[in-house]
Chain A
Amino acid sequence: MEIFSGIVQGFTTSLSITNLAYCFVGVFVGTLIGVLPGIGPVGTISLLLPATFRVDPVSAIIMMAGIYYGAMYGGSTTSILVNIPGEAASVITCLDGYQMARKGRAGAALGISAFGSFIAGTIGVIALMFLAYPLAKLALNFGPPEYFALMCLGLTILTYLARGSMLKALSMALVGLLLSFIGIDGITGLPRFTMDMVHLMDGVGLVPIAMGLFGISEVLLNLEEVIKRDIFETKIKGLLPNREEWRRSKWPIVRGTIIGFFLGILPGGGAVISSFISYGLEKKLSSTPEKFGTGMIEGVAGPESANNAAVAGAFVPLFTLGIPANVTMAVLLGALMIHGLTPGPMLLREHPEIFWGTVTSMYMGNVMLLALNLPLIGLWVKVLKIPYGILFPLIILFCLIGAYSLNNTAFDIGVMVIFGLVGYLMKKLDYEGAPLLLAFVLGPMMEQALRQSLLLSHGSFAIFFTRPISAVAMGLAVALILSYFLPFLRKKRPNLEEDNV
């Protein structure tokens, strides 16, 4: 019953005019930046964060969540119409979505990705409610050893499923870890790598790094590229997929939702990986896998559902344990803390309105997005025609203001600019920013949990294997690593790169 009173409380919060307005602004901005290549939800949320300082925390979180899932809707539009993914999670949608558009089925592709997103988003939110709430009740049982074991498991699964160069991803994660060492050590209170600079006492800021890596660097990169924008000028007709297309999309949407939600929960998982895995799975299950890449609706419906469900999944560990599952969640975690809220087991008890308000706002947000995306496709296509000469200076300007207003110090601007340049070089050399940022956030959490556990156990590593929750998580992680190294099992590892690209 508690869950129902929670839902009622949530709707009371999220249905207020103010919060509906914030939700609308969030999903609108989300769709917008989803459509625009160059800036994604991490950069945008970082950028808008200082603007929410004076806002009620619930409204701020509702808006920032809206940006995140809104971007998932918007990202597919450009993938389908222009073959440019507006968002990393929509990269895979280009393969079949663009081909569908070339075959005159742009409307159906856009329609199915919007409906798939809507269905997955809604189911995801329901699952989030029914999973996060009981989990939050159990969350107090998660002490330092459980946190450590859980993060080990998450990162192992992530490595197991990773695509692209493992070496490059790991090296970026190491850079992130090294950066996270800067500041006062949370166990001994001694400064590490601060070079006696007071600005470094609390470490390098997450948000300026995120703005640099995901905002400034994208702008720099886009400056030198002439992006071909062959937008289909032909009228997009028939946004509703036909009966046959629905029949083919039904199961991919269901499977995509399940994959997306559960991968979204894992640290390091999230929208991008789940969209790739969904595509791989649909291809494998298809009776005509060779036709993938030529405009198969399954290849649009599955990944587009997966990336939306992943967003809901990612809120589970954030709201219950205070662990960010991905980079966007890490920025949201920072946002909660700036508003004086500590994400973790106590959040749901002490501030139920934050959890329920945000979750119920996602229902509204998904409805708004369906309305925004289907009839307004024409508007979003026009947005794509904004000259970059206007767009990019604006993004840079907002980044500069945003970075300064975080702590009212120019130091953060410097950090952002440096990471903008670093991020530019990284992209040129094909290194991803996400492992760096995720390691930067999860690293200190893992370190703290490990050292707290060892303090509790007086130095014995047995503590990770004698407590049931951490023993199970550790056991699974070890089993996964073994299966990777055992040659006869290795064949079974889904080779995503070959399957997908």
Chain B
Amino acid sequence: MKMKPVISVVPVLIALSLILAALGWAADVKYPTKPIHMWVGFAAGGSTDICARSASAIAEKALGQPIVVENKPGGGGALLLGLLASAAPDGYTLATTSDTPYTRAPHLINVKYDSMKDFTPLVRLGLQRQGIVVRADSPFKKWQDLIDFARKNPGQLTYGTPGPGTTPHLAMEKIALQEKIKFQHIPFQGDTPAMSAVLGGHVMASATGALAWTSHVKAGSLRLLLVFDPEGMDEWPEVPTFKKVGYSFEAPTAQMVSAPKGVPKPIVDKLITVFSDAVMSPQFQKVAREQELLAAKPLTGADFQKWLQQQYTMYGTFIKEVGLQKKTE
């Protein structure tokens, strides 16, 4: 009889330890318990910043903790990834950037991170729409006219871009390689100056983000010749895609959310769910439309990692072919 209490203690202890274990496990997914920092690799007011703020505002409601957005611009996002690589992988430091510092910067400049190893890519928010425009009174009525002119007049076709090494620049040079022709690249500082130059007739064409030209194409002062969207653009279904004019490659620019390497799986899953939902919400879709971001279905987790890896390899090849790669000493 004396032993009885002891025996009855055992199941209680087992039960207790089970409860504690369950609680411990629960503590692991009890995230977030404090404000989350969302670093943005570009300056306030830009497209990346607007997307980051919109997605964060929606996600923080689902997470129940505020998301503090902090802009840390520099080196086209490379500065931010350098910082993110050494941030604590606890899910309280996240980053929104374009994919540029992941897929292109490492080929162009010396960066302080390994973009394919140091991070956990979470969600691709969308793809930035881009295209090639000419002035309405240009003799180039369709894409082939521009190519024909460039073939007959090597190096005479001038085109503006938002800067050297940007997606539109790489795409145009890749096109020139495939067509075996030569364009004259005139780099500007950003989309708007490049677009003003084509409006003023200082360059014959400009390849820039859609935000800079949609209103002018609608107003009839610019003509859209080619779009970067693989599916084309709804507003201008007649404008060809790369594939339609016979180019086997794409040149996308993505907006994405990522975290340092080593964030616990439950937290990664939670963040993926929350940010995917945010992308699909009507509020974010509205912002995406305004920012000319193609945000149909978010790419996440392993699929996203694979996509990034592909872009990294593809842009590496692009950059080498175009002759822009960084010098290795």
Max chain B Cβ within 10 angstroms of own Cβ: one of A53, A144, A189, A201 = A189
CB-nearest residue of chain A to B158: A456
Contact B203 A456 (CB under 8 A): yes
Chain A contacts for B35, CB-based, 8 A? none
Q: Does B197 contact A (CB under 8 A)?
A: yes
Q: Does A179 contact B (CB under 8 A)?
A: no
Partner among A199, A344, A350 whose Cβ is within 8 Å of the Cβ of B215: A350
Partner among B46, B82, B201, B215 whose Cβ is within 8 Å of the Cβ of A198: B82
Contact A201 B76 (CB under 8 A): yes
A345-B74 contact in complex given A189-B164, A340-B45, A452-B188, C-beta closer than 8 Å: no
Contact B196 A346 (CB under 8 A): yes
Chain A contacts for B189, CB-based, 8 A? 186, 448
23 pairs from A and B in contact (CB 8 Å cutoff):
A140-B196, A140-B200, A143-B200, A144-B186, A144-B197, A185-B164, A186-B163, A187-B164, A189-B163, A189-B165, A198-B112, A201-B75, A201-B76, A201-B78, A201-B109, A202-B73, A340-B44, A340-B50, A342-B192, A448-B189, A456-B158, A456-B186, A456-B202
CB-nearest residue of chain B to A342: B192
Chain A contacts for B82, CB-based, 8 A? 198
Q: Does B110 contact A (CB under 8 A)?
A: yes
A198-B196 contact in complex given A189-B164, A458-B155, C-beta closer than 8 Å: no
CB-nearest residue of chain B to A57: B45
Partner among B46, B73, B184, B188 whose Cβ is within 8 Å of the Cβ of A340: B46
Chain A contacts for B197, CB-based, 8 A? 143-144
- Since A143-B197, A202-B74, A342-B192 are in contact, a sample of 7 more A-B pairs with Cβ atoms closer than 8 Å, ordered by chain A residue number, is A184-B109, A189-B108, A198-B112, A201-B75, A201-B78, A452-B187, A458-B155
Partner among A144, A184, A199, A202 whose Cβ is within 8 Å of the Cβ of B202: A144
Contact A191 B200 (CB under 8 A): no
Contact A142 B200 (CB under 8 A): yes
Q: Does A408 contact B (CB under 8 A)?
A: yes
Contact B110 A196 (CB under 8 A): yes
Task: With both chains docked as a complex, state the minimum distance between the C-beta of B305 and any C-beta of chain A, in angstroms.
Answer: 24
CB-nearest residue of chain A to B76: A201
Partner among B49, B164, B184 whose Cβ is within 8 Å of the Cβ of A188: B164
Q: Does B70 contact A (CB under 8 A)?
A: yes
Tell me the complex Cα distance, A338–B43, Å: 7
Q: Which of A303-345 contact B (CB under 8 A)?
A: 337-342, 344-345
Contact A346 B192 (CB under 8 A): yes
Q: Does A18 contact B (CB under 8 A)?
A: no
Q: Does A425 contact B (CB under 8 A)?
A: no
CB-nearest residue of chain B to A455: B186
Chain B contacts for A184, CB-based, 8 A? 75, 109
Contact B109 A191 (CB under 8 A): yes
Q: Which of B189-220 contact A (CB under 8 A)?
A: 189-190, 192-193, 195-197, 199-203, 215
Q: Does A141 contact B (CB under 8 A)?
A: yes
Q: Does B324 contact A (CB under 8 A)?
A: yes
Q: Does A409 contact B (CB under 8 A)?
A: yes
Q: Does B239 contact A (CB under 8 A)?
A: no
Q: Does B185 contact A (CB under 8 A)?
A: yes
Partner among B46, B75, B186, B215 whose Cβ is within 8 Å of the Cβ of A452: B186
Q: Does A407 contact B (CB under 8 A)?
A: yes
Range of interface residues on A (Cβ < 8 Å): 35 or more
Task: With both chains docked as a complex, state the minimum distance between the C-beta of B257 and any C-beta of chain A, in angstroms.
Answer: 18
Tell me the complex Cα distance, A53–B215, Å: 26
Task: With both chains docked as a complex, state the minimum distance between the C-beta of B114 and any C-beta of chain A, in angstroms.
Answer: 15
**Interface residues, chain B, CB within 8 Å of chain A?**
43-46, 49-50, 70-76, 78-79, 82, 108-112, 155, 158, 163-165, 184-190, 192-193, 195-197, 199-203, 215, 324
1/0 contact string of A445-456 vs chain B (CB within 8 Å): 000100010011
A407-B165 contact in complex given A141-B200, A345-B200, C-beta closer than 8 Å: no
Tell me the complex Cα distance, A204–B189, Å: 17
Contact A338 B45 (CB under 8 A): yes
Chain A contacts for B71, CB-based, 8 A? 407-408
CB-nearest residue of chain A to B184: A455
Contact B79 A201 (CB under 8 A): yes
Tell me the complex Cα distance, A337–B191, Å: 13
Contact B164 A201 (CB under 8 A): no
Contact A140 B199 (CB under 8 A): yes
Tell me the complex Cα distance, A399–B29, Å: 42
Chain B contacts for A198, CB-based, 8 A? 74-75, 78-79, 82, 111-112
A186-B187 contact in complex given A198-B78, A344-B193, C-beta closer than 8 Å: yes
Contact B195 A346 (CB under 8 A): yes
Tell me the complex Cα distance, A202–B187, Å: 16
Chain A contacts for B200, CB-based, 8 A? 140-143, 345
Tell me the complex Cα distance, A75–B50, Å: 40
Tell me the complex Cα distance, A455–B197, Å: 14
Task: With both chains docked as a complex, state the minimum distance between the C-beta of A289 and any C-beta of chain B, in angstroms.
Answer: 48
Contact A199 B158 (CB under 8 A): no
Tell me the complex Cα distance, A456–B110, Å: 30
In the A-B complex, the 8 residue pairs with the smallest Cβ-Cβ separation, listed nearest first, are A340-B45, A189-B164, A143-B202, A201-B75, A140-B200, A342-B192, A189-B165, A198-B79
Chain B contacts for A407, CB-based, 8 A? 43, 71-74
Task: With both chains docked as a complex, state the minimum distance between the C-beta of B217 and any C-beta of chain A, in angstroms.
Answer: 14
Tell me the complex Cα distance, A420–B203, Å: 42
Task: With both chains docked as a complex, state the minimum distance between the C-beta of B151 and any C-beta of chain A, in angstroms.
Answer: 18
Chain B contacts for A458, CB-based, 8 A? 155, 184
Tell me the complex Cα distance, A196–B108, Å: 12
Tell me the complex Cα distance, A393–B184, Å: 54
Max chain A Cβ within 10 angstroms of own Cβ: one of B79, B108, B185, B201 = B79
A199-B74 contact in complex given A140-B200, A456-B202, C-beta closer than 8 Å: yes
Chain A contacts for B43, CB-based, 8 A? 337-338, 407
Contact A344 B185 (CB under 8 A): no
